[in-house]
């Protein structure tokens, strides 16, 4: 038997219990179903012993002990509740309430507060110690979260979460005694600090001190919280597929939580970023809730589903039959689930023989393909958890840190906890508090700088053997002059030294990792990717390149592999007569597609929101579809390693039809026969396309 699972005997409230030797009294009590109230304790962070609510009596000693920090000992006799203990807890609770201004009646967290719950539970119906009513500051600099020091009990949970869960350590105490407050950096505001607004402090705060400015006051009066439903799902916003726990009441989303307890194989252990936590709550776009058709005067009119779909099918069928499918095109958002992307492509290509089908992020796909072909390698990216194992992480272009905020969070954790080095080439908004080397380069300068860095690295003596492939790479950068590039980019001599240092670090790192964006801005993006792929291949080990490419949309990888995204650019002088746009947000279609818009006879726009701009002007028919929250479905992770099923979180508003049902109904009109029809068949078919099994 291993030593660490050796059991000892303790007595909890007169009951003999066998427990592991290395745990605390609190853990032992919880394992044996004995309740001890806590506030500063949270299983996701280290023990602190600060709030003194978990006091218990040990071996009859006159002084009570904090159970969350007292280890068990063989033969220990613990009493978790008696008159003295209850009196002690109650007075502690009164002190916590009277220390600052806890006015539940106008606190947005009321009804969803651990401090309040304990007061109710301990029947604290008044305070016998009085508040000073001293006022403390409030930080409302961030648009999503506020910090009200008046409601802080200084339990330090947020500080430990910020340090231990996110690795950022932005929060800590400043000042002393009764004037102590939780501070960002050194007395900075949240907005001006190095905080990247992941919101874990807010989620873990046991009071209303750190609260969401989106849907506060959502817990209704008294004890009505029972109506809340918790739905475990995933966030498909950026493709990292972080696990979420959505709180829903009466089909209204109240908040999105992460998994503070951590899930080992998920990005950043199951944390969320500001986008995953707040984006859906902050959305204010106007919903499209019934099919609409433009009448002869060009005004929008409400219509029925049957009529709307009938008109769409008739017009598309007619153009297909009279002018051929070449006159038709379709474009879908890369945010949709696999099922929608697959059905959309099949409807357009098999049903209507459309000449061109693409996704909004198709350009990014094509720039990636172009770079891959030119580099003459099959790009196998690393899984995103490889960031945790890297000792030098090169961020090439700060755009990926903004589109995928969990990436800087993961890098920061490696930097702070493991001493990894973060290197950034790009603009200053990279959200990394501690950067080893930084080169300020605008987005258009990235391809040149990638070449310069590649050249510099190749000029060094590399630890791995020279291969024919490397010779080819050497050949490709033979004429590159890094100094000339740096001068061209307006960088000084110091920057040239930084570039040398970066190259040295890349060559000497045991496990370097490159993280880059994939903005899809055509040729430039492709050139950036090309030299980065070449650079990564110099440090390749195993079958994956030390490279992570942040994709532009949540389900880009699925759209690429299913083939909804086109490998070809839209044809010039396309001669399109009708088009079908499946949008997910208010974004305009890419410019390449818009070229053909003015000549269109007929345009259908399907999506959750009322379109604006050119889509609204040119569309003849609008078809409402659910948001991703209102639909279940499969999503492929950004690294393409897995396909994850996302549960439905909310019901779509009345009148909004299931998107897949809509596409299947249209397919029926086209006369095409699909080999799959049930949700399961569609899902399986899409899965095979993505993972190949």
Partner 1 sequence: MERATIATVWLEGCAGCHMSFLDIDEVLLDLLPRIELTDSPITDFKDFNFRRVDVGIIEGAIGNNEQLEIARRLRDRCKILVAWGDCAVFGGINTLRNAIARADVLKCAYIDSASTVDGIIPDDKELPVLLQKTVPVNRMVEVDVYVPGCPPSPEAIAYSLTEILEGRIPVLTADMIHFD
Contact status, residue 165 vs residue 157, Cβ threshold 8 Å: no
DSSP assignment letter at 53: -
- Residue 173 binds partner 1 (CB under 8 A): no
Q: Tell me whether residue 44 or residue 119 sits nearer to partner 1 (CB atom).
A: 119
| Binding-site string for partner 1 from residue 601 to residue 640, where x marks contact by CB under 8 A and - marks none | ----------------------------------------
CA distance 301 to 616: 13
Q: Tell me whether residue 98 or residue 372 sits nearer to partner 1 (CB atom).
A: 98
Contact status, residue 43 vs residue 58, Cβ threshold 8 Å: no
Spatial strand order of the sheet with 243-249 comes to 229-234, 243-249, 252-257
Q: Tell me whether residue 106 or residue 542 sits nearer to partner 1 (CB atom).
A: 106
When binding is defined by CB under 8 A, the residue of 125, 479, 598, 693 that contacts partner 1 is 125
| Binding-site string for partner 1 from residue 186 to residue 225, where x marks contact by CB under 8 A and - marks none | -----------------------------------xxx--
Task: Considering only the stretches 109-117, 286-294, 383-391, 537-545, report the one whose residues sit in contact with partner 1 under the rule CB under 8 A.
Answer: 109-117
135: three-class secondary structure by DSSP? coil
Q: Tell me whether residue 223 or residue 302 sits nearer to partner 1 (CB atom).
A: 223
Q: Which of residues 309-338 bind partner 1 (CB under 8 A)?
A: none
Q: Tell me whether residue 131 or residue 252 sits nearer to partner 1 (CB atom).
A: 131
CB neighbours (10 Å) of residue 476? 19
Spatial strand order of the sheet with 77-79 comes to 15-20, 7-12, 77-79, 55-58, 65-66
Report the half-sphere exposure of 436 (CA within 13 A, side-chain side): 22
CA distances from 331 to 494, 607, 657, 683 (A): 47, 12, 19, 21
302: three-class secondary structure by DSSP? strand
Contacts of 551 (CB under 8 A, 6+ apart): 239, 334, 361, 364, 518, 557, 638
When binding is defined by CB under 8 A, the residue of 38, 70, 110, 412 that contacts partner 1 is 110
In angstroms and rounded to an integer, the radius of gyration of the C-alpha atoms of the chain is 29
Residue with tokens 């890297």: 390
Contacts of 4 (CB under 8 A, 6+ apart): 20, 21, 22
- Residue 83 binds partner 1 (CB under 8 A): no
- Residue 481 binds partner 1 (CB under 8 A): no
What are residue 627's DSSP bridge partners? none
Q: Tell me whether residue 113 or residue 486 sits nearer to partner 1 (CB atom).
A: 113
- Residue 105 binds partner 1 (CB under 8 A): yes
Nearest Cα to 276, choosing from 406, 142, 154? 406
Minimum CB distance to partner 1, residue 124 (Å): 8
When binding is defined by CB under 8 A, the residue of 103, 464, 508, 642 that contacts partner 1 is 103
When binding is defined by CB under 8 A, the residue of 60, 133, 264, 419 that contacts partner 1 is 133
Q: Tell me whether residue 113 or residue 238 sits nearer to partner 1 (CB atom).
A: 113
When binding is defined by CB under 8 A, the residue of 74, 134, 232, 286 that contacts partner 1 is 134
Minimum CB distance to partner 1, residue 179 (Å): 15
Q: Tell me whether residue 57 or residue 112 sits nearer to partner 1 (CB atom).
A: 112
Minimum CB distance to partner 1, residue 520 (Å): 49
Query: C-alpha angle 286/290/292, rounded to 5°?
Result: 95
Q: Tell me whether residue 112 or residue 268 sits nearer to partner 1 (CB atom).
A: 112
- Residue 445 binds partner 1 (CB under 8 A): no
DSSP assignment letter at 295: -
Contacts of 591 (CB under 8 A, 6+ apart): none
Minimum CB distance to partner 1, residue 204 (Å): 22
155: three-class secondary structure by DSSP? coil
Minimum CB distance to partner 1, residue 91 (Å): 16
Task: Considering only the stretches 75-83, 124-132, 197-205, 446-454, report the one whose residues sit in contact with partner 1 under the rule CB under 8 A.
Answer: 124-132
Task: Considering only the stretches 96-104, 340-348, 477-485, 512-520, report the one whose residues sit in contact with partner 1 under the rule CB under 8 A.
Answer: 96-104
When binding is defined by CB under 8 A, the residue of 59, 120, 541, 567 that contacts partner 1 is 120
β-bridge pairing 292-294 and 300-302: antiparallel
When binding is defined by CB under 8 A, the residue of 126, 179, 226, 572 that contacts partner 1 is 126
CA distance 79 to 91: 19
Minimum CB distance to partner 1, residue 220 (Å): 9
- Residue 647 binds partner 1 (CB under 8 A): no
Residue with tokens 């904090």: 66
- Residue 135 binds partner 1 (CB under 8 A): yes
- Residue 59 binds partner 1 (CB under 8 A): no
Helix axes 493-508, 446-459, angle to 10 degrees: 60
When binding is defined by CB under 8 A, the residue of 26, 44, 45, 119 that contacts partner 1 is 119
Q: Which two tokens stand for residue 395?
A: 């961020």
Query: C-alpha angle 84/86/88, rounded to 5°?
Result: 70
Q: Which two tokens stand for residue 376?
A: 């003459």
When binding is defined by CB under 8 A, the residue of 127, 383, 480, 600 that contacts partner 1 is 127
- Residue 226 binds partner 1 (CB under 8 A): no
Buried b (16+ CB within 10 A) or exposed e, 561-587: bbebbbeeebeeebebbbbbbbbbebe
Minimum CB distance to partner 1, residue 283 (Å): 28
When binding is defined by CB under 8 A, the residue of 8, 23, 85, 124 that contacts partner 1 is 124
Minimum CB distance to partner 1, residue 136 (Å): 9
Q: Binding residues for partner 1, how many (CB under 8 A)?
A: 27
Q: Please report, as ranges, the residues that interact with partner 1 according to CB under 8 A.
A: 101, 103-107, 110-111, 116, 119-128, 130-131, 133-135, 221-223
């Amino acid at each position: 038997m291993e030593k660490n699972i050796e059991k000892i005997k303790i007595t909890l409230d007169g009951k003999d219990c066998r427990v592991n030797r290395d745990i605390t009294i609190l853990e032992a009590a919880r394992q044996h179903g004995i309740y001890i109230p806590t506030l500063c304790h949270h299983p996701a962070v280290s023990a602190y012993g600060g709030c003194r609510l978990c006091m218990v009596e040990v071996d009859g000693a006159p002084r009570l002990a904090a159970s969350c920090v007292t280890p068990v000992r063989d033969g220990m006799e613990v009493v978790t509740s008696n008159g003295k203990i209850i009196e002690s807890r109650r007075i502690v609770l009164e002190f916590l309430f009277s220390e600052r201004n806890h006015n539940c009646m106008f606190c947005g967290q009321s009804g969803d507060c651990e401090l309040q719950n304990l007061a109710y539970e301990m029947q604290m119906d008044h305070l016998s110690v009085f508040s000073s009513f001293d006022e403390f500051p409030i930080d409302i600099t961030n648009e999503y979260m506020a910090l009200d020091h008046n409601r802080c009990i200084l339990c330090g949970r947020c500080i430990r979460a910020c340090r231990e869960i996110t690795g950022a350590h932005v929060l800590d105490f400043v000042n002393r005694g009764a004037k102590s407050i939780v501070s960002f950096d050194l007395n900075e505001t949240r907005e001006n600090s190095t905080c990247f607004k992941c919101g874990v402090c807010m989620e873990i705060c046991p009071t209303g001190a750190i609260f969401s400015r989106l849907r506060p006051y959502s817990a209704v009066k008294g004890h009505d919280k029972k109506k809340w439903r918790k739905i475990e799902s995933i966030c498909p916003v950026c493709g990292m597929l972080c696990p979420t726990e959505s709180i829903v009441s009466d089909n209204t989303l109240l908040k999105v939580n992460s998994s503070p307890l951590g899930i080992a194989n998920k990005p950043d252990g199951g944390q969320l970023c500001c986008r995953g936590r707040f984006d859906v709550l902050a959305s204010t776009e106007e919903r499209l809730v019934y099919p609409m058709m433009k009448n002869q005067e060009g005004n929008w009119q409400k219509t029925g589903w049957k009529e709307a779909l009938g008109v769409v099918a008739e017009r598309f069928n007619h153009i297909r039959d009279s002018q051929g499918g070449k006159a038709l095109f379709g474009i879908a958002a890369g945010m949709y689930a696999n099922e929608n992307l697959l059905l959309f492509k099949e409807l357009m290509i098999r049903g209507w023989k459309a000449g061109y089908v693409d996704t909004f992020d198709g350009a990014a796909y094509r720039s990636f393909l172009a770079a891959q072909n030119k580099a003459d390698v099959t790009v196998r990216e690393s899984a995103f958890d490889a960031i945790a194992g890297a000792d030098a992480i090169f961020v090439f272009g700060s755009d990926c840190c903004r589109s995928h905020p969990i990436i800087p969070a993961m890098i920061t954790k490696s930097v702070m906890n493991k001493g990894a080095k973060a290197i950034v080439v790009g603009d200053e908004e990279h959200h990394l508090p501690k950067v080893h080397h930084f080169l300020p380069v605008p987005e258009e300068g990235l391809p040149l700088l990638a070449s310069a860095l590649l050249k510099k690295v190749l000029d060094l003596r590399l630890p791995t053997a020279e291969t024919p492939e490397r010779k080819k790479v050497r050949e490709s950068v033979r004429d590159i002059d890094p100094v000339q590039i740096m001068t061209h980019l307006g960088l000084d001599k110091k920057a040239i030294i930084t570039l040398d240092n970066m190259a040295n670090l890349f060559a000497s790192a045991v496990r370097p990792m490159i993280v880059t964006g994939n903005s899809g801005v055509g040729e430039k993006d492709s050139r950036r990717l090309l030299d980065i792929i070449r650079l990564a291949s110099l440090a390749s080990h195993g079958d994956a390149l030390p490279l992570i490419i942040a994709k532009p949309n949540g389900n880009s990888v699925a759209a690429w592999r299913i083939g909804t995204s086109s490998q070809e650019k839209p044809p010039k002088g396309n001669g399109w007569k009708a088009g079908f746009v499946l949008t997910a947000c208010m974004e305009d279609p890419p410019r390449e597609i818009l070229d053909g818009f003015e000549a269109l006879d007929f345009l259908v726009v399907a999506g959750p929101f009322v379109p604006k701009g050119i889509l609204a002007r040119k569309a003849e028919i609008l078809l409402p579809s659910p948001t991703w929250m209102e639909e279940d479905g499969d999503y492929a992770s950004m690294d393409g390693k897995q396909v994850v099923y996302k549960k439905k979180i909310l019901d779509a508003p009345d009148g909004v039809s299931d998107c897949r049902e809509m596409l299947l109904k249209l397919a029926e009109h086209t006369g095409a026969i699909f080999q799959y029809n049930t949700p399961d068949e569609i899902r399986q078919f899409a899965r095979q396309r993505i993972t190949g099994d």
